Structure 1
Amino acid sequence: MDNLHDMLHQKLKEYFGFAAFKGNQEAVIRNVLAGRDTFVLMPTGGGKSLCYQLPALLMEGVAIVISPLIALMKNQVDAMRTFSQHEGIAHFLNSSLNKSAINQVREDVLAGKTKLLYFAPESLTKEENISFLRKIKISFYAIDEAHCISEWGHDFRPEYRRIRPIMNDIGRAPLIALTATATPKVQLDIQKNLGMLDAAVFKSSFNRPNLFYEIRPKIDVAREIIKYIKQNEGKSGIIYCLSRKKVEELAELLVANGIKALPYHAGMDAATRARNQDAFLMEEADVIVATIAFGMGIDKPDVRFVIHYDIPKSLEGYYQETGRAGRDGGEGRCITFYSYKDIQKLEKFMQGKPIAEQEIGKLLLMETVSYAESSMCRRKTLLHYFGEEYGEDNCGSCDNCVNPRPKVKAREETLVMLEALKAIGPKFKMDYLVNVLVGRTTAMIKSYGHNESEWFGAGSNHDDRFWGAVIRQALILGLVDKNIENYGLLSVNDAGEKYLEKPYDIYITLDHDYDGEEGEDAAAPAGGRGEGVADAELFAMLKDLRKKVAKQHGLPPFVVFQDPSLEDMSIQYPVTIEEMQNITGVGAGKARKFGAEFVKLIKRYVEEKDIVRPQDMVVKSVVNKSGNKVFVIQSIDRKMDFEDIARARDLDFDELLTEIEAIVNSGTKLNINYYIEQTIDEDKAEEIYLYFKEDAESDSVDEAIRELGSDFTEEEVRLVRIKFICEQGN
């Protein structure tokens, strides 16, 4: 046994230059050498590929490696060739090779020079490849990125499900399947599909202690990102966006702000993509802005931050993408901007897909929502999702542990929840149970008759967010199970039964509400973010000044400057009218009209307090290429119908109004009377106008509707508010 140990260490040094194995590597390799099926769960950066590369070099025959990505194969083959005297040691066969290259590969394999042969699953199914493989001795099959087999995985590929029948067709050999992310559900799915339920399973911990996880509300994102990167000058980072369009826009904006950034997405031609990726690896660029097409097999060890502009579709995706930070064990910050609106957008995207796929997609999204909104330790939640217990109460490196929210006792509520779940039985998901508890009659609840249950509405004194937190805590404490086979169905387990007999105190922390206003009047921006929190003392002084200026002009304060503008002033400290124009929501017009006194006050404050101003923090905007702003202003001058303006610019009505509000709030005067006269009843318009002039405390549309009554629509209020700001403020 020890001879094998010595031999493996010697070969590890000789071929790969490492002095020792990491984690489970040696145990896995021994299992493969013994000819047994092996299943490896190992987080990104844990050294998965070594688990099949080393045994392949030691065993008789050729190892067949199935991998989903051409770029990844090429990377690995190049790496293997550097360890060996002859080129033929590793090859790949895929669609990128021409006839003569394919013949060269086959010659090397038949001559016994090749130890590793890489395939994409699509090429494996080709008849000529199957008949070729039947002629050679196969040492074992390795299936990399095995989560692609499962439709529950974040990267499902139907052709992966055909691998087993093809292997049977070519000839039996031991099997090693490897993945960097798999929930218990996905793991079972992979093992079933590959017919390897009795394989030895090697699971490494999924905890990445050096990563800091943080979720922020999606407010002013581009600016938050620029601020963060400027504060971390020269560090490498990846920013993920969902759409190609957003990737291009954001990359351009970063460049305009003096950041070395490049875009990367599947719509770019291969040469540009490769060039940008190399520039990032060679550190000619600091930041890559990418869709998830980027990063598969990018082994850059010193990525210091991964920012998600849009939240990923699943927690596996999130784990995989955040996992590209800090692979060298150094600092890695993972910041995600979250808004529930994005989730609704993702649900919309799914609408064309088969129903089964939509169901799966929705459940994976709900897990993501649950993770984002929960104020429990992020690490605990994430590891629990991957079937791993995390013992610590405070991980010390996620936003929820560093800024914990107050805990609330929930012993009675946990009992109510467990009783209700027992009463309805183990056939329902979390949102159904919440609806029963708060007493919300849905069609589904009616059809099961649970609106008649004694537990219906038993928790109506709390809201959905509260019950979500109770159920999540019960899942983490192991009182409730989530069914693996029928994903997402909840049931009370033995520990839950015991709890009902002998309850103890349970504490929960209430979920975040990233879309609501946390603390309406707080001086800090919503969500109390770490850096860049407004200077509370200055903010209060600016509010007083705004009141005074508003009074002099006989205007409501919000017409002078809106709260976000004051907040921004107390972060940026503008001391000239020119700087004032760079503040959120303040354009040249407003700066000239109201800016002087504010600038004077800030200047005095900065001098008294000896404040170092973050002047490099001015976010330059890219000249809006689509020219929306100019187009909108010209169209309104020409009295064009709003619906036509929106259509011409491919905006929906809501987006057009937001665009107009931005133009008006920064001091440009527009006359939209012609449109208001066409669409809003004269008395109604008059009433809204008076409300803003006489009664409004703030420019909030919701507040206006509460005061005015429900027969006023949001659109009517917004339109008249625009008119009001133009006439009174600009």
Structure 2
Amino acid sequence: MPDILTTATPDLMQAARQALKRYYGYDNFRPMQVDIIQHILSGKDTVVLMPTGGGKSVCFQIPAVVSEGTCIVVSPLIALMKDQVEALKANGIAAAYINSSVGQAEANDIARAAVSGHLKLLYVSPEKLLSEGFLQFLNRVNISLFAIDEAHCISSWGHDFRPEYTQLGTLRTHFPGTPIIALTATADRLTQRDIRTQLNLHEPKVFLSSFDRPNINLIVRPGQDRVGSVLEYIARHPQDPGIIYCLSRKTCETISQKLVAKGVKAGHYHAGLTPAQRSKVQEAFLQDDVQVIVATIAFGMGIDKSNVRWVIHYNLPKNIEGYYQEIGRAGRDGAQSTAILFYSFADVMQMREMVTKDVPARQAQLNTAKLERMQQFAEAASCRRKILLNYFSETLGEDCGNCDICRNPPTTFDGTLIAQKALSAVARSKERVSINLLIDILRGMRNQAVLQGGYHQIKTYGAGSDLPYLDWYSYIHQMLNDGLFYIAYEEGYALKITERGHQVLKGQLSLPLKKFQPAEKAEKPSRASKKAATVATIGTPEAQLFDKLRKLRKQIADEQGVPPYVVFSDATLQEMAAERPVSRVGMLGISGVGMKKFETYGEAFIKLILEHEGPQAAPTDSDEVLSAAPRPRAAVANQPVSDSEDATVQLHQMGLSPEDIAERRNLALTTVKTHLYNAYAKGRELRIHDFVSDTELAEIFTARTQLGGDPTLRDLFDHLREKYDYFQLRMAALYHKRLRGQ
């Protein structure tokens, strides 16, 4: 290990900050990254548990860049290596990978580059690392550190166990003085313990970042008409890339075919395809040539596509760890994204059989317990994010406001009579019926199962015909969760009444039930409102420019043979569309635009912005001596407000919220916020405290002062841990500007 790593000197940390700006285009590290990097640079073993999209890669890439020698990165998938190496090269960092896809001649060239010290990062698979002769080769390389990515794969307790990872403990034997950093996006207590012990880490410091991904909108929907719901969602998000996770290979192919038949650019991915087939569909998705991937969990681990806007689980995942990691593939760029989970009790029964089949009793018990936690999440009647974070031993102080439960909290009512009808039907059917058959009896259905069992003759047949299927489905599951029934799996999933259930049936105990409200599902808009909403969204100047920037990014990516997000992320393009930088200094002030990327792409994007804005946007000589922050959009006091903006402002002055105005005017919320921002910038008096309170304004002002200079919106967004959205930050900036003017 090089001497430079024995102490993380101030000079090294200064070099790390400079590298962050030069290569990645960011002015400040995210929370916890500084502490992690400092610990690694001091030559100590480290465990990093950080959610997908939280910036794990930077934690070892920056130390690799500023240290002497080469960082060896152990990664489980060829696709992951390829993505990260392409991204590093695009940022101007010398990196390479060696795996089964690399020919011998190329591998020899890479090896020589590593031995000569010309590589900062070398990615290898665990199989390659442990192959004959490779460890001897590494003895000739000046290794700065080892980074074990997706480290949860080392534990049989984890959700993605890989036997080859268990042999990585030999690294400590061969390289006793070289620091090892283990990184994962999800690991429960047992998996964390395995990571430390199996890698033979020496007194590692464990950095546990918040597992909260506040930009992901959590939704659970009933498991009926899943295909219709998926098609409806995609129709409302025709440009947004997404992933649909299915339980079986056959389902993947069926859903993919149905999407393609409806004109959706979709592909399927599962372990039954050949490597060439999997590679082809994955590449098409990364290149934005395919909008939707329908896949088993074989797809996605480590996929670095930052602009996945949604993830749909067609079937219930078997545990929360897997669910969390899979939804984490959405919104890695920090922009708003959605995770939808379809849920039915039939999924639970099917998954229960899968997780307990052909496994030791101890493992089956653990698998069942984890499945039940997943079921509790799906059936939640309180903030879903709280439940999710609680699983990872993290407490959320208040409801998240970005899940279906928070937006549409259930109300309760006295459901004793409803419960008694269901309990009576179960008792009169001699406790031999499953949930679905019970609902059919209550609703008075005359199907084969009801008639053959003679259930149409019992007294409570049809007693619940006034309620639709989904209502009964919800209420019976609540009764299950409340302990009135239990399911006899060994008797064909028959419902059995508990002692508590008998008390309710006899009227000795009342039962509150949560009022059934269909899970979030947008009403189908009329053709006229669809058109109006589309025009409103597409018609905003910011949206128009973003679309042009995205097309330019795709064109450049295709010419260079790299995924579009390697050029710039969606978040970077969104900031360009909002800030519209037209000079070198302005462009370098955009988060995600480093020196290398500016030199490679900056001129093309500035040219496009100038063409979009017109001659008045041309930079003056003073642009080159401005601060590194991008210019705000032109804001001239007392400038006339358009009729549409004026209508929005009038409704605001009447006391309506932006959400109410958007609904009243049939406009996108982003359009309304743009109206309010532009009006305020032009001197109109708005109730600024409707958007940002005095306390919040003070906190944002303090953050701006701490960051120094004129920080970008993304810097503020990250520094404040995503507490405020960009609209609030922009309005606060204008407010502070007015104060300075006064």
Shorter-chain TM-score: what band?
Answer: 0.5 to 0.7
**CA 1:380–1:441 in structure 2 vs 1: closer, same or farther (change >3 Å)?**
closer
Distance (Å, rounded) in 1 between the aligned partners of 2:248 and 2:387: 28
Superposed displacement of residue 175, structure 1: 1.4
1:211 has 2:225 as partner: no
Q: Do 2:36 and 2:59's aligned partners in 1 also have CA atoms closer than 8 Å?
A: yes
**CA 1:106–1:284 in structure 2 vs 1: closer, same or farther (change >3 Å)?**
closer
1:224 has 2:229 as partner: yes
Q: Do 1:437 and 1:460's aligned partners in 2 also have CA atoms closer than 8 Å?
A: no
Alignment match, 2:383: 377
Q: TM-score, normalising length from structure 1?
A: 0.56
Alignment match, 1:366: 372
Alignment match, 2:471: none
Superposed displacement of residue 241, structure 1: 1.0
Matches within 5 A, 1:613-652: none
Decide which of 4, 16, 21 is 1:13's aligned counterpart.
21
Alignment match, 2:201: 196
**CA 1:211–1:510 in structure 2 vs 1: closer, same or farther (change >3 Å)?**
farther
Alignment match, 2:79: 71
1:530 counterpart letter in structure 2 = K
2:382 counterpart letter in structure 1 = M
Distance (Å, rounded) in 1 between the aligned partners of 2:130 and 2:317: 32
Superposed displacement of residue 29, structure 1: 0.9
**CA 1:7–1:108 in structure 2 vs 1: closer, same or farther (change >3 Å)?**
closer
Query: Match of 1:22, SS?
Result: coil
**CA 1:462–1:209 in structure 2 vs 1: closer, same or farther (change >3 Å)?**
farther
Q: Do 1:375 and 1:510's aligned partners in 2 also have CA atoms closer than 8 Å?
A: no
Distance (Å, rounded) in 1 between the aligned partners of 2:214 and 2:354: 34
**CA 1:71–1:280 in structure 2 vs 1: closer, same or farther (change >3 Å)?**
closer
Question: Cα deviation per residue 1:520-566 (whole Å; 9 max; x = unaligned)?
Answer: xxxxxx8454324899xxxxxxxxxxxxxxxxxxxxxxxxxxxxxxx
Q: Do 1:154 and 1:317's aligned partners in 2 also have CA atoms closer than 8 Å?
A: yes
Query: Match of 1:266, SS?
Result: coil
Q: Which runs of 5+ in 2 are unaligned?
A: 1-8, 415-479, 490-497, 527-665, 667-742
Identity %: 44
Alignment match, 1:93: 98
Alignment match, 2:522: 531
1:81 has 2:89 as partner: yes
Distance (Å, rounded) in 2 between the aligned partners of 1:339 and 1:436: 18
2:289 counterpart letter in structure 1 = E
Q: Do 1:33 and 1:55's aligned partners in 2 also have CA atoms closer than 8 Å?
A: yes
**CA 1:14–1:462 in structure 2 vs 1: closer, same or farther (change >3 Å)?**
farther
Superposed displacement of residue 188, structure 1: 2.7
Superposed displacement of residue 196, structure 1: 3.4
Decide which of 31, 36, 41 is 1:28's aligned counterpart.
36
Decide which of 389, 393, 397 is 2:395's aligned counterpart.
389
Decide which of 287, 296, 300 is 2:301's aligned counterpart.
296
Alignment match, 1:137: 142
Matches within 5 A, 1:211-290: 211-290=216-295
Query: Match of 1:303, SS?
Result: coil
Distance (Å, rounded) in 1 between the aligned partners of 2:102 and 2:89: 18
Q: Do 2:222 and 2:519's aligned partners in 1 also have CA atoms closer than 8 Å?
A: no
**CA 1:31–1:405 in structure 2 vs 1: closer, same or farther (change >3 Å)?**
same
Q: Do 1:239 and 1:308's aligned partners in 2 also have CA atoms closer than 8 Å?
A: yes
Query: Match of 1:215, SS?
Result: strand
Query: Match of 1:20, SS?
Result: coil
Distance (Å, rounded) in 2 between the aligned partners of 1:258 and 1:439: 45
RMSD: 3.4
Q: Which runs of 5+ in 1 are unaligned?
A: 410-433, 444-455, 468-507, 512-517, 520-525, 536-611, 613-730
**CA 1:275–1:159 in structure 2 vs 1: closer, same or farther (change >3 Å)?**
closer
Distance (Å, rounded) in 1 between the aligned partners of 2:130 and 2:122: 15
Matches within 5 A, 1:270-669: 270-350=275-355, 351-392=357-398, 394-406=399-411, 461=503, 527=518, 529-532=520-523
Superposed displacement of residue 215, structure 1: 0.9
**CA 1:408–1:209 in structure 2 vs 1: closer, same or farther (change >3 Å)?**
farther
Query: Match of 2:309, SS?
Result: strand
1:48 has 2:56 as partner: yes
Question: Cα deviation per residue 1:229-266 (whole Å; 9 max; x = unaligned)?
Answer: 22233322221112121111111111212222222223
Superposed displacement of residue 182, structure 1: 1.9
Superposed displacement of residue 458, structure 1: 7.5
Q: Do 2:47 and 2:206's aligned partners in 1 also have CA atoms closer than 8 Å?
A: yes
Q: Do 2:316 and 2:342's aligned partners in 1 also have CA atoms closer than 8 Å?
A: yes
Distance (Å, rounded) in 1 between the aligned partners of 2:146 and 2:219: 39
2:111 counterpart letter in structure 1 = R
Matches within 5 A, 1:163-174: 163-174=168-179
Question: For structure 1, which segment, 242-251 or 434-443, has the greater mean C-alpha deviation from structure 2 after superposition?
Answer: 434-443
Alignment match, 2:46: 38
Superposed displacement of residue 381, structure 1: 0.2
Decide which of 157, 161, 174 is 1:156's aligned counterpart.
161
Distance (Å, rounded) in 1 between the aligned partners of 2:92 and 2:482: 64
Question: Cα deviation per residue 1:164-218 (whole Å; 9 max; x = unaligned)?
Answer: 1343134441111111112233223322333337322222211111211111111
**CA 1:509–1:229 in structure 2 vs 1: closer, same or farther (change >3 Å)?**
farther
Distance (Å, rounded) in 2 between the aligned partners of 1:97 and 1:530: 47
Query: Match of 2:342, SS?
Result: strand
Superposed displacement of residue 26, structure 1: 1.7
Query: Match of 2:182, SS?
Result: strand
Distance (Å, rounded) in 1 between the aligned partners of 2:277 and 2:84: 21
Question: Cα deviation per residue 1:601-625 (whole Å; 9 max; x = unaligned)?
Answer: xxxxxxxxxxx9xxxxxxxxxxxxx
Superposed displacement of residue 43, structure 1: 0.9
Distance (Å, rounded) in 2 between the aligned partners of 1:139 and 1:462: 67
Question: Cα deviation per residue 1:667-726 (whole Å; 9 max; x = unaligned)?
Answer: xxxxxxxxxxxxxxxxxxxxxxxxxxxxxxxxxxxxxxxxxxxxxxxxxxxxxxxxxxxx
Bigger relative contact order (CA 8 A; separation at least 6): 2
**CA 1:309–1:111 in structure 2 vs 1: closer, same or farther (change >3 Å)?**
same
Superposed displacement of residue 131, structure 1: 2.1
Alignment match, 2:722: none
Aligned pair count? 442
1:296 counterpart letter in structure 2 = M
Larger radius of gyration: 1
**CA 1:27–1:304 in structure 2 vs 1: closer, same or farther (change >3 Å)?**
same
Query: Match of 1:263, SS?
Result: strand
Q: Do 2:149 and 2:183's aligned partners in 1 also have CA atoms closer than 8 Å?
A: yes
Superposed displacement of residue 356, structure 1: 4.1
Superposed displacement of residue 328, structure 1: 2.7
Q: Do 1:152 and 1:360's aligned partners in 2 also have CA atoms closer than 8 Å?
A: no
Q: Do 1:436 and 1:457's aligned partners in 2 also have CA atoms closer than 8 Å?
A: no
Alignment match, 2:68: 60
**CA 1:527–1:168 in structure 2 vs 1: closer, same or farther (change >3 Å)?**
same
Distance (Å, rounded) in 1 between the aligned partners of 2:190 and 2:45: 20
Query: Match of 1:352, SS?
Result: coil
Q: Do 2:222 and 2:344's aligned partners in 1 also have CA atoms closer than 8 Å?
A: yes
2:364 counterpart letter in structure 1 = Q
Q: Do 2:269 and 2:296's aligned partners in 1 also have CA atoms closer than 8 Å?
A: yes
Distance (Å, rounded) in 2 between the aligned partners of 1:510 and 1:461: 16
Superposed displacement of residue 148, structure 1: 1.0
